Amino acid sequence: MNLAIKDIRHNFGRFVLTSLGIGMLLMLVMGMGGIYRGLVQDATLIVDRIDADLWVVQKNTRGPFAEISRIPRTLEDRIAAVPGVQSSYAFISHTVQRSFNNKPLRLTIQGLSWPADRGHWFPIIAGRGLEQAHYEMVADKSSGLQPGDRIPLAKEIFTVVGLTEGMTSAAGDSMAFMTLLDAQAVQFDLPPEAIRIERTARVNRLSDHELGRTQPQMQDHAAGPGAQIPALGTSMVSAVLVQVLPGFSADAVAKQIEAWPDVSVYTQNGQKELLLRGSVDRARRQLGLFRVLLIIVSGIIMALILYTLTLDKLHDIAMLKLIGAANTVIFRLIMEQAMLLGVIGFGLAHILGQWAFPHFPRRVLLLQEDLIVLAGIVVVISVLSSLLGIHRALRTEPNEVLS
């Protein structure tokens, strides 16, 4: 190792810059792997945190996160009567984009079945959780909101009462939690003119019908809010979450509910699998492909760097051979420098990544096992990339010292 270290000291500035460049390149490889892991975690985060045994959604749909699902809230009571069901509660998920403080604000709203679900499954890092049935919300800190902020939504003013952390959707949008009724009000909000046109259209349709002509007083009801008209359907939700009683099989309960013609049922693992194979599948595969390409590019660049460093030392290598140095000495010189470049580059990549990754707009999740695998890949790349330089060094003749 002494010969390699002495050569590094002789060209210390160039070695430092080379190590920094390799470190930056490996940081990209590390970051791409972290973004891949972060995408997978964001996609399955809400399913893991809620920890429901079963997800009941609209027939022939893939759930509230993969596509639009609409089922009546009364389904919650039907499911509660199924043998083996401990609890069932409605759930809503949709995305809104508004302007707040002259900046775009994009939120994935999660509607909680108040008061059964008060959001005990997500962490509160500032403020408090939901304590009222209306006009309160808890937002993720990545949204930039602060406790006390007042946001106009659905003709009402919602107050941010608390902040959570790490709660983002598969698209990277910050989550906001409010009660189910408030989430429905936001989801189905219409401008006043659209409401007036719809009520007028209802009155006109009724007046053209025999029932409307024989009972004119019904036109007054038709001109009122839709929620007060019994003939119209009940409010719609995205899914009903089911907890199964201990001792009962989730699959057996799912088969009972799946027999109904208007719903589809997925287990927790089934819902996660749908997410990974559906809405995030292409992004996940693309990130994985980029990661592989970056690793290949890193190996090629390291090989070129080591080959260039070897060419710069051909005169010194020829001198070593002239004075009788064995090939193993030259082999160790290049191999040890390659290993040092790889180890130092990996260390710099990890240090720089710890500083830079928290500022990325998407979650970058570095897992210990991924870092260990990457460290092994760096060692293999260092060894393989040194072979080109070693091959050129061993071909150097002692008499080249005179050229």
CA distances from 198 to 195, 219, 226 (A): 5, 13, 10
pLDDT tens digits along 328-350: 777 777 777 788 888 888 999 99
d(CA 233, CA 219): 18
Mean pLDDT of 256-275: 86
Using the predicted structure, report yes or no on whether residue 163 has a pLDDT greater than 90.
yes
Average pLDDT over the chain, rounded to whole? 81
pLDDT tens digits along 79-119: 988 999 998 888 888 888 888 888 888 999 998 888 888 88
d(CA 147, CA 130): 12
Retrieve residue 242's tokens. 């089911």
d(CA 213, CA 227): 23
Q: What are the start-end ranges of the E strands in 36-190?
A: 54-58, 71-72, 85-100, 103-112, 126-127, 136-140, 150-153, 156-164, 174-179
- Counting residues of the chain whose pLDDT is more than 70, the rounded percentage is 80
CA distances from 219 to 19, 190, 198 (A): 80, 22, 13
Give pLDDT, residue 66: 74
Using the predicted structure, report yes or no on whether residue 128 has a pLDDT greater than 60.
yes
The least confident of 2-16, 116-130, 366-380 is 2-16
d(CA 186, CA 225): 16
- Band of pLDDT at residue 1, cut at 50, 70 and 90: very low
The least confident of 22-26, 38-42, 123-127 is 38-42
Looking from the CA of 32 toward its CB, the CA atoms found within 13 Å total 18
d(CA 311, CA 304): 10
Give pLDDT, residue 402: 57
Residue whose C-alpha is closest to residue 180's, from 85, 97, 115, 108: 115
CA quadruple 229, 232, 238, 241: dihedral positive or negative? Answer: positive
Mean pLDDT of 24-44: 86
Number of H-type helices and E-type strands within the chain:
13, 12
> Residue 364 in contact with residue 357, Cβ under 8 Å?
yes
> Residue 71 in contact with residue 59, Cβ under 8 Å?
no
Mean pLDDT of 339-362: 87
Mean pLDDT of 372-378: 88
What are the boundaries of each domain within the chain?
2-43+281-402, 51-277
Q: How far apart are the first and last CA of the chain?
A: 28
Nearest-5° angle of CA 371, CA 375, CA 380?
A: 145
- As a whole number of angstroms, the longest Cα–Cα distance in the chain is 117
> Residue 58 in contact with residue 71, Cβ under 8 Å?
yes
Please state the separation of Cα 388 from the chain's center in Å: 40
- Global pTM? 0.73
d(CA 63, CA 65): 6
CA torsion 36→37→39→44, rounded to 10°?
150
Retrieve residue 392's tokens. 């050129």
d(CA 391, CA 381): 16
Q: What are phi and psi of 396, to 5 degrees?
A: -70, 130
CA distances from 162 to 119, 159, 187, 200 (A): 11, 9, 22, 41
43 contact partners, CB below 8 Å, separation of at least 6: 65, 170, 272, 275, 276, 279, 280
